[in-house]
Chain A
Amino acid sequence: TTNDQLQRTGISGIENHLAHQLNVQHQSISGAFQDLNKLMQQAKEMVSISKTIANKIQEKRSDLTSDETIRFRSYLLSLGIDNPVTKESAGSQYHTSLAKELANLLEKALKDTNGIMTLSDAFCRINRARGYELISPEDLLNAAVHMEELGLPVRLRVLSSGIKSFELTNRNEKKDLEEIASLVKTVTSMSADQLANQLGIPVIVARERLIAAETNSLLCRDDSIEGLRFYPNLF
């Protein structure tokens, strides 16, 4: 008993106490890792099973949107493995319903921003509005891809520079560009950021619009050390 008492007092007592605490922490941490390992083992099995199913489906290709493949896709999504290469034919229900929700949300926002919004802007707006249960960039893109086939009022568009953006389906491209051209005419020349200021759109989109108008022979460019400016096409 004297030994016990010795251990509880003095510096060695404190040291013993610390060692004991460390031990407990270590056990809980390794316990957590063990659980995680078990979980991962299970997930691994799911992955291998889903891969064999994917192979089977690939053999029977182009059975378009049969119920089985749709369900299988949602399994894959819940596991966090998306396998678009072997399953491009269907898409998933999750993304189509997300597309509908987003179209609703974006339609109003797009009307305020001149009918066009970059994907990254939309991503910020949507996730800020949601607060929790956020969507990943990939979900947003996948949902956006379905918008056109669902006949929604909003659609995805890849601009010539590779920038992805949302726009209203009923937008009249030609009329828009002509409006921009006449806007340029009133001030003789314009740079992308001037147009961005005037229309309240991102500079990237403004630049895209000006170049589109140039491609349509409405504008021409003046590239100098003063920057890239666009003039009405007088040629």
Chain B
Amino acid sequence: MAATKISDISWHHDFPPFFTLQPNLDTRRKQLDAWCSLVLDYCRLKKVCTFDVNDASKFPPFFNAKINRQLDNNFIQVLLEELRSRGNIEWEDKHKRRCLVLWKSPEEW
């Protein structure tokens, strides 16, 4: 399991525009879809259950050293909000620093 590379679960990860929030709304929708499934797939594979926003820059999917790109804070906020609205994360504290990651919806559990 440790050998699983991020680029194996998402071809987008090597595509530089993936790391820039797209201004075109159609494109942005597809981009966020891809991001959400990447984050969830990664957490499922690595059995990650909690996510700390303070450590976001160390979260492997959020940077790609090969193409020298990483998500900026604004993008991470947008992405987390998207995940929350889909019911895939739940905040653990009021300040929105830590969250639970739910690979499946609570009903599926």
Residues of A near any B CB (own CB < 8 A): 189, 214-215, 217, 220-224, 229, 231, 233-235
Q: Which 3 A-B pairs rank lowest in CB-CB distance, beginning with the nearest?
A: A235-B30, A222-B16, A220-B17
Contacts of A235 in B (CB 8 A): 12, 17, 22, 27, 30-31, 34
Query: A220 to B69, Cβ gap below 8 A?
Result: no
A224 touches B20 (CB 8 A): yes
Question: When the two chains form their complex, are residues B15 and A214 in contact, meaning their CB atoms are under 8 A apart?
Answer: no
Report Cα–Cα, A221/B17, bound state, in Å: 5
Query: Is there contact, CB below 8 Å, between A222 and B17?
Result: yes
Chain B residues whose CB sits within 8 angstroms of the CB of A220 once the complex forms: 17, 20, 22, 24, 27, 31
Alpha-carbon distance A122/B68, docked complex (angstroms): 42
> B24's contact among A215, A223, A224, A234, by CB below 8 Å, is which?
A215
Provide the bound-state CA to CA distance between A221 and B27, in Å. 10
**In whole angstroms, how far apart are the Cα atoms of A81 and B19 in the complex?**
54
The docked-state distance in angstroms from the alpha carbon of A215 to that of B69 is 23
**In the complex, are the beta carbons of A231 and B16 less than 8 A apart?**
yes
**By the criterion CB–CB under 8 Å, are A221 and B31 in contact?**
no
B contacts with A, residue count (CB < 8 A): 16
- A214-B69 CB under 8 A given contacts A222-B16, A224-B16, A231-B17: no
Q: Provided the pairs A220-B22, A224-B20, A224-B69 are in contact, do residues A231 and B15 lie with their beta carbons within 8 angstroms?
A: yes
Question: What is the chain B residue whose CB lies nearest that of A220?
Answer: B17
Q: Which of A189, A215, A217, A233 contacts B16 (CB 8 A)?
A: A189
Question: What is the total of A-B residue contacts with beta carbons within 8 Å?
Answer: 44
14 pairs of residues in contact across A and B, judged by CB atoms under 8 Å? A189-B16, A214-B23, A217-B24, A217-B27, A220-B20, A220-B31, A221-B17, A221-B20, A223-B20, A224-B19, A231-B17, A234-B12, A234-B17, A235-B34
Tell me which residues across on chain B come within 8 A of A233, comparing CB atoms. Answer: 27
Residue of B16, B19, B23 ringed by the most chain A CB atoms within 10 A: B16
Shortest Cβ distance from B29 into A: residue: A235
CB within 8 Å of A: which of B59-96? 68-69
Which residues of B sit under 8 angstroms from A222, Cβ to Cβ? Answer: 16-17, 19-20, 69
Hey, which chain A residues are within 8 Å of B12, CB to CB? 234-235
Query: How far in angstroms is the closest Cβ of chain B from A227?
Result: 11
Contacts of A223 in B (CB 8 A): 20
- Give chain B nearest CB distance to A215 CB in angstroms: 6
A215: chain B residues at CB < 8 Å are: 24
Interface centre among B15, B19, B27 (most CB of A within 10 A): B27
Chain B residues with CB under 8 A of A229 = 16
In the assembled complex, the Cα of A214 lies from the Cα of B26 at a distance in Å of 10
CB distance from B35 to the nearest CB of A (A): 11
